[in-house]
């Protein structure tokens, strides 16, 4: 049994996330966590809401609420939706937690002691109309790199280039829209990332098993210096973690807060502290996951994120960890994703384009979405959601292949043998061939899951479902029953056991359907099919079962057309 620490990129608090956000971090992380738990490993799966910075303040202002109240409310919304999608976090925390305040201030103090913090007087944009400095996302304008006219002051959403507010062409206030802006001097703290170039380069070079997407982005930013400019880690904002050196005040930094991209990744660590506190555990319990001098030396740490987050997680956050000089756990593997596009365009939270998590759950159960999103995960290139593809794949894979197998087997058994596993008959050559085929396929499925090759794993799982259907079609127990009832009983006994195997294997992808299959078979998920012949005899003769409700209803053309029309214009 190994120990696995898993984190997914923490979502901004400002509103409900769309399906592209979901498949770019949280959902594949959940798949991996569920699989590892099923194989008997010890897993700590953490996520949180990212609550500081301009997005939170702007969203709260728009909602007409104090920012602390708004963040607490939206944390509840995001927690409800993550539960709705069956995301199995061990803890879903908040970057505004006391633990993150203390740790962020602690890291700042350690970095300052190491000579990696500089106090810099700089010019920032000040809005006359708003009476305040406008850092980050408070400023919108045209990207100097790609010409996108809705670029933000921290990063262009279109080309992902990291920006400073002063880089924008024709800047305007995101609060009031005013162009009455001027530059004024203000003092901020900078993390001297450029001093960490050698250490970061050696660390990245050591990660020979990282996906090409992750490594290529990290190297690009490292080699051209884009990600290693000394970066400001404080802001002139009201909402955030107050600037301190550990527990001490920082002279000259009164009224300032840490920059959201400094404190947000530290929440991965703080979230473990929140988890321990929520369960009444001592600090040693979370430190054994994060401190290599306190037991985390044997932990494998995997992060999941969209490609736009890779530079911060391969450069800025590691610079913080390494620069502290303390023995914190660094990430072992970063699984990064390209973008999921929506029906010919991009998903966009800011523009309300696409299907959002709450809307998705309003029209269909989570498993429909989980299966389609994971089986089309944008791993090697961008992927695209279309309603036609969604309808076709759900109907074919979930309804026609898996759902139909369960229905045919259980209903036929009930009609001919009753709702108990029949005892008669002995397996023959067809059953031996199926067992060999399933063994090969299950081992391949395991290999893809362990390598986090999500689309390949989904394809192999689909192939395992298909194998059962092909067996059923080949041996045709409904025909065999007329000539040899005992042989038909054996065939159905194997098929009933196959439903249990399907439930166990499918649970990481479609947990609700898996539970429905187990409930129908009146059994528990009490063991991975390490030995396939044994697994296919787990339900013994005379074991009772019930016919499950329809696992997956087909999506009609009328439903598809209605949804296509309803979601054509975004959230509004």
* All domains of the chain in start order, with CATH: 3-111+261-337 (3.40.50.620), 114-223 (2.170.220.10), 386-535 (1.10.730.10)
pLDDT confidence tier of residue 158, bands split at 50, 70 and 90? confident
Rounded CA-CA distance 235/246 in Å is 18
Q: How many residues does the chain have?
A: 572
Which residue ranges make up the annotated binding site?
Answer: 143, 146, 156, 159, 349
Q: What percentage of the chain reaches a pLDDT higher than 70?
A: 99
Give the pLDDT score at 225. Answer: 57
Q: Which two tokens stand for residue 507?
A: 């649970």
Write the pLDDT tens digit of every residue in 23-41.
999 999 999 999 999 999 9
Residue 237 confidence (pLDDT): 87
Convert the pLDDT of each residue in 296-313 to its tens digit.
Answer: 999 999 999 999 999 999
Q: Are 130 and 231 in contact (CB under 8 A)?
A: no
Among 53, 42, 531, 481, smallest CA distance to 267 is for 53
Which whole number is the average pLDDT over 245-259? 95
pLDDT band at 429 (very low <50, low <70, confident <90, very high): very high
Instruction: Tell which residue, 403, 411, 421, 471, has the closest CA to residue 441.
Output: 471
Among 395-399, 461-465, 564-568, name the one with the lowest average pLDDT.
564-568
Do 84 and 357 contact (CB within 8 A), yes or no? yes
Identify the pLDDT of residue 350.
67
Beta-sheet strands, E only, within 131-211: 132-133, 139-142, 151-152, 169-173, 181-191
pLDDT, tens digit, 9 for 90 and up, residues 309-328: 999 999 999 999 999 999 99
Q: What pLDDT shows up at residue 349? A: 72
pLDDT in tens, 89-120: 999 999 999 999 999 999 999 999 999 999 99
Binding site for ATP: which residues? 349
Classify residue 453 as left (phi > 0), alpha (psi -120 to 50) or beta: beta
pLDDT by residue (tens digit) across 554-570?
Answer: 999 999 999 998 888 76
Output phi, psi for 219, to 5 deg: -65, -40
Q: What is the pLDDT of residues 361-388, one digit of tens each?
A: 999 999 999 999 999 999 999 999 999 9
Full-model pTM? 0.92
pLDDT in tens, 134-145: 877 789 999 999
User: 163 near 153, Cβ under 8 Å?
Assistant: yes
CB 95 within 8 A of CB 104: no
Render 256-281 in DSSP notation, one character per residue: -EE-HHHHHHHHHHHHHHHHHHHTT-
Q: Which residue has the tokens 């056991």?
A: 497
> Which parts are annotated binding residues for Zn(2+)?
143, 146, 156, 159
Specify the pLDDT at position 570. 64
pLDDT, one tens digit per residue, over 327-349 is 999 999 999 999 999 988 888 77
How far is the C-alpha of 536 from the C-alpha of 397, rounded, in Å?
A: 22
């Amino acid at each position: 049994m190994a120990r696995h620490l898993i984190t997914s990129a923490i979502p901004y608090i400002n509103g409900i996330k769309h399906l592209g956000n979901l498949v770019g971090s949280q959902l594949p992380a959940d798949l991996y966590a569920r699989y590892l738990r099923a194989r008997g490993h010890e897993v700590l799966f953490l996520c949180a809401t990212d609550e500081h910075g301009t997005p939170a303040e702007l969203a709260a202002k728009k909602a007409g609420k104090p920012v602390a109240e708004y963040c607490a409310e939206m944390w509840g919304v995001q927690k409800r939706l993550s539960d709705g999608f069956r995301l199995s976090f061990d803890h879903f925390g908040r970057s505004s937690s006391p633990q993150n305040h203390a740790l962020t201030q602690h890291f700042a103090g350690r970095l300052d002691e190491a000579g990696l913090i500089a106090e810099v007087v700089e010019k920032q944009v000040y809005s006359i109309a708003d009476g305040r400095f406008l850092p980050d996302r408070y400023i919108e304008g045209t990207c100097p790199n790609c010409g996108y006219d809705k670029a933000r002051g921290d990063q262009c959403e279109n080309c992902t280039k990291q920006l400073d507010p002063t880089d924008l062409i024709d800047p305007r206030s995101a609060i009031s829209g005013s162009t009455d802006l001027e530059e004024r001097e203000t003092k901020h703290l900078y993390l001297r990332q450029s001093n960490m170039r050698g250490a970061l380069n050696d660390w990245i070079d050591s990660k020979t098993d990282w996906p090409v997407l992750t490594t290529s982005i990290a190297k690009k930013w490292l080699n051209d210096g884009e990600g290693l400019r000394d970066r400001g880690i404080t802001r002139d904002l009201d909402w955030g973690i107050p600037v301190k050196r550990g527990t001490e005040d920082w002279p000259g930094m009164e009224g300032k807060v840490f920059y959201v991209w400094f404190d947000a990744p530290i929440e991965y660590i703080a979230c473990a502290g929140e988890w321990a506190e929520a369960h009444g555990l001592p600090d040693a319990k979370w430190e054994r996951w994060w401190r290599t001098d306190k037991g985390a030396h044997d932990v494998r740490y995997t992060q999941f994120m969209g490609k736009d987050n890779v530079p911060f997680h391969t450069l800025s956050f590691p610079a913080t960890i390494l620069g502290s000089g303390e023995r914190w756990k660094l990430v072992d593997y970063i699984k990064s994703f390209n973008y999921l596009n929506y029906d010919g365009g991009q998903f966009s939270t800011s523009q309300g384009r696409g299907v959002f998590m709450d809307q998705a759950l309003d029209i269909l159960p989570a498993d429909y979405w989980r299966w389609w999103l994971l089986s089309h995960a944008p791993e090697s290139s961008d992927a695209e959601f279309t309603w036609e593809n969604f309808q076709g794949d759900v109907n074919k894979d979930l309804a026609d292949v898996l759902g139909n197998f369960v229905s045919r087997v259980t209903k036929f058994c009930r009609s001919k043998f009753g709702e108990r596993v029949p005892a008669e008959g002995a397996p023959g050559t067809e059953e031996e061939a199926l067992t060999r085929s399933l063994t090969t396929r299950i081992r391949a499925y395991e290999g893809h899951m362990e390598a986090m090759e999500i689309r390949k794993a989904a394809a192999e799982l689909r192939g395992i479902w298909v194998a059962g259907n092909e067996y059923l079609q080949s041996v045709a127990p409904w025909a065999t029953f007329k000539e040899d009832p005992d042989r038909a009983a054996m065939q159905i006994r194997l098929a009933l056991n196959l439903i249990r195997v399907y439930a166990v294997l499918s649970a990481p992808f479609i947990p609700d359907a898996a539970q429905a299959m187990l409930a129908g078979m009146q059994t528990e998920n009490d063991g991975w099919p390490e030995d396939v012949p044994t697994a296919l005899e787990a339900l013994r003769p005379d074991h009772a079962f019930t016919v499950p409700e329809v696992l997956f209803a087909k999506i009609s053309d009328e439903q598809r057309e209605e949804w296509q029309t309803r979601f054509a214009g975004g959230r509004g």
